[in-house]
Structure 1
Amino acid sequence: MDNPSKRPGRLGVGVIGAGKVGAVLGSALRAAGHAVVGVSAVSARSLDRAEVMLPGVPVLEVPVVVERAELVLLAVPDDALPGLVEGLAETNTWQPGQLVVHTSGRYGWRVLEPAVAQGAIPLALHPAMTFTGTSLDLTRLTGACFGVTAPAAVLPIAQALVVEMGSEPFVIDEEQRGLYHAALAHGANHLVTLVAQATQLLGQAGVENPARLIGPLLDAALDNALERGEQALTGPVARGDAGTVRAHLEAIRRASGPDQDIVATYRALARATADRALAGGRLRPEQAESLLDALMGPSDLRDADERPPGE
C-alpha cells in the first residue's frame, strides 16, 4: 500500500493561523504525506483546533514556524495578510527557495512580493468552499475547487498541491482575483442571508420546521440553476404576475414590522430578476413595466413625485 510520506517531494509545512481553513488544509497536506513542522495559534479556539486537527504538531511563534518550514501556509484574514508578509520580510525571516502559500480569495501572488524579494516562491491557493474547521471539511475537499494564481514557472507546483489534497485547481489571472472572489462571495454568502430570511418568514407563517419544508425546493432550484442557468427560473416574476408580487411585499411588510430588511432584499432581487428576464426574452416589456411598478418602494415613489411632468 502506498505510504504518502514516502512519496518524492515531501515538504515540511508550517501553518500560520490555526483557523478553520489553516487547520484543515494543514491536515490535508499532512494526509498527502507532507510533514507539518509547526503551527501558530493564539486564541483558545485555534489552540483547540490545532490540537484536534494537527495532533502532535508543536505550537510555535510565527517566525519560528517560518524558519522551520519549506512550505509556509498563510491562512490569515485578508486584511492581515499584507502586513504579515511585509513584517516578516522586514525581519529577514523568509528563506530562498521557500514556498509561501496564502489562502486569500482577494489576493493573487503579488501580495507576497516582499517574500519573493528574499527568494521565496509565491503561490495563491484559495479553496472555493466554506469551512467548519473539523474533519468534515477533509471529506468536502475531495472534489472541491481551488482558485490558483502563481507565476507561470511555478504554476504546476500550485496545481499539484491542490490535486494532492483531492481537489481541482482552476487558474485565475492575477488581475481577475478581485472579480473571482466577489463572484464567490456574492453567490455563497448572500445565499446564506437569503435562506435565513426565507426560513424566518416560514417560521412567522407558523411552519415548525422551515428548513425541512424549503430544503428540497432549494436543492432543486440550485441544481436546476447550475445546469440550465436562467432558463431554470420559475415563479411570479418569470410569469409576469405583478399582482402576486404586490401581495408578497404586503405580506412581508406585515410580518417584518419595523424591521424591513427582507422587504428590501425581496424588492432588489425581484427587480434584478425582472431585468434579466426581460433582457433574455422571458418577459414582454409591458409585463416588466407592471412588475417594476409593483416593486416601487417609498423612495422610488418620492423620486417619481419630484420629477417634472413629462420626465
Structure 2
Amino acid sequence: MLTLNVIGAGRVGQTLARLFHSADQFQIASVFTRTAATAQHASHFIGSGKAVHNLLELASADVCMLTVADDDIATISNLLLVKDMLKPRSIVFHCSGSKSSSILQPLRDAGHYVASFHPVRSFASPEVVVADFVDTYCGVEGDAEALAILVPAFEAIGARTFMLETEHKLRYHAASVFASNYLVTLMDIALKTYQAAGLSPEMAVALAQPLAKKTLENVFSSSTEDALTGPIKRGDLETVEKQLADLALWDQQAASLYQAFIDPTKAVANRVKRH
C-alpha cells in the first residue's frame, strides 16, 4: 500500500485522510500542522499517522497531499524540494479550487508527478463530510502518472471525478464562488434588506427561505430562463429604478449590488423572449 503524508491537516486534510485510511487506499505516514496540539488532534481524527508540527520531521512517503492555504502551496512545495524531503518520482497534489497543478511545476521539473484535486463542496465540519462524502464531485487535472494513482483512490472513497482544463482553473473556481460563497452573501443582503423594511429577523428568514429554496429548485429542475420572475422579466423598469434609488438612500453597498445584477438579469430575460 502506498504511503501518504498529509501536509496542512485542517478540515479538508483531515476529512480526505480519514476517508483514504478507512477505505485502505493509503497508509498515513505523517500528519503535519503548525502546532503540536492541532497535529495530534488531526492524527486522532484520521485514526492513523504520526503527528508532526515540524515539517522537517516528515516521514518518507510515496504521496504528499498539500491541504494548506492557497498562498502557502508554492512555499511548502519548494521547501520539500530544497530540503530533499521527497522520494524519487513522488506524487504531490493539492486541493485548491483556484490554483492549478502548474503551481507545482518546480516539483515536476525535478522528476516528480503533480496534480490538483478540488472537492466541490463545503468542508465546514469534517465529521459531517466524512459521513456524506459519497457522490461529491471532484475537479482534477495534472500529470497522467499522478492521476493514475489518485483518481482510483478518490473514486474508492465515493468521489465523482471530472477533468478540468489547467488553463481554466481560475474560471472554474470563480463559478463555484458564485454558486456558493456569493450566494451566501446575496442571502445576507436580502435578509438585511427585509429588516431595513421594518421586518423582524425571524420574519426575514421566514420570507427569504422558501423564496430562495423554490427559486433554486426551479433553476435546476428546469432552467435559469424559466426560473426568472420579477420586474425585469416583466419589463417593469420603472420599479427597478425606484427600488435602486430607495436602496441608495438606505445602504450604498446594497444599491451597488442591486445595480450590478440589473444588466445580467436583463440578459436572462432577453433569452426568455428569444425562446
- Whether 1:170 and 2:165 are equivalent positions in the alignment is no
- Which residue matches 1:200? 192
Q: Structure 2 matches for 1:134-145, cutoff 5 A?
A: 134-145=126-137
Whether contact under 8 Å (2:12, 2:123) holds in the other structure is yes
1:268 maps to 2:260: yes
> For 2:254 and 2:37, how far apart are their aligned partners in 1?
33
Shift of 1:281: 4.7
Q: Alignment partner for residue 158 of structure 1, among 150, 153, 164?
A: 150
Q: Which residue of 2 aligns with 1:216?
A: 210
1:115 and 2:110 matched: no
Q: Is residue 2:81 matched to residue 1:89? A: yes
Alpha-carbon deviations, 1:121-165, whole Å to 9, x = none?
A: 212111111111421112342111111002234433332122122
CA RMSD of aligned residues (A): 2.4
Would the alpha carbon gap of residues 45 and 146 (structure 1) be closer, same or farther in structure 2, given more than 3 Å must change? farther
Q: Do the aligned residues in 1 keep the contact of 2:21 with 2:48 (CA within 8 Å)?
A: no
Match of 1:191 among 183, 186, 192: 183
Between the aligned partners of 2:207 and 2:265, the Cα distance in structure 1 is 24
- 1:54-96 CA-to-partner distances (Å, cap 9, x unmatched) read 245322122333x432221100111211121112211221211
**What corresponds to 1:302 in structure 2?**
none
Q: Structure 1 residue 116: deviation in Å?
A: 2.6
Moved more, 155-164 or 37-46: 37-46
Q: Distance in 2 between matches of 1:201 and 1:43?
A: 42
What is the CA-CA distance between 1:207 and the residue it aligns to?
Answer: 3.0
Question: Within 5 Å, which residues of 2 pair with 1:212-251?
Answer: 212-231=206-225, 232-251=227-246
Match for 1:77: what amino acid?
A
Which stretches in structure 2 are left out of the alignment for 5+ residues?
A: none
CA distance in 2, matches of 1:208, 1:174: 44
- Aligned 8 A contact 2:141 2:147 in 1: yes
When residues 152 and 195 of structure 1 are mapped into structure 2, their CA distance, relative to the original with a 3 A threshold, is: same
**In the superposition, relative to structure 1, how do residues 199 and 124 fare at CA in structure 2: closer, same or farther (>3 Å)?**
same
Q: What is the aligned-residue identity percentage?
A: 26
Match for 1:29: what amino acid? Answer: F
Pick one of 125, 141, 145 that aligns with 2:117: 125
Residue 92 of structure 1 aligns to a residue whose secondary structure is coil
The Cα of 1:190 is off from its aligned counterpart by 1.1
Deviation at 1:276, TM superposition (A): 3.3
For the structure 1 residues 160 and 81, does the alpha-carbon distance in structure 2 shift closer, same or farther, using more than 3 Å as the test? same
Unaligned runs of 5+ in 1: 1-9, 284-311
> How many residues were matched structurally?
269
Cα separation, 1, equivalents of 2:10 and 2:164:
24
Normalised to the residue count of structure 2, the TM-score between the two structures is 0.87
Which AA in structure 1 matches 2:235?
G
The counterpart of 1:31, out of the listed 22, 31, 51, is 22
Q: Which moved more, 1:263-272 or 1:205-214?
A: 205-214
Q: Which has the larger radius of gyration?
A: 1
Q: Secondary structure at the match of 1:131?
A: coil
How far apart, in 1, do the equivalents of 2:273 and 2:112 lie?
53
The verdict on how the C-alpha distance between 1:227 and 1:50 changes in structure 2, with shifts beyond 3 A counting, is same
Structure-1-length-normalised TM-score: 0.78
- CA-to-partner distance for each residue in 1:178-214, whole Å, 9 max, x for gaps? 2211221232221111011111222333133233432
Report the AA paired with residue 228 of structure 2. Answer: L
CA contact (8 A) 2:118 2:139 kept: yes
Task: Determine the C-alpha separation between the residues in 1 that align with 2:255 and 2:2.
Answer: 53
What letter matches 2:164 in structure 1?
A: I
Deviations 1:231-271 (A, max 9, x none): 221111111112332343344345x3xx4211111111122
Distance 2:212 2:74 in 1: 38
What letter corresponds to residue 87 of structure 1 in structure 2?
L
SS at match of 1:73: strand
Alignment CA distance shift 1:156-1:196 (3 Å): same
User: Any idea what SS the aligned residue of 2:201 has?
Assistant: coil
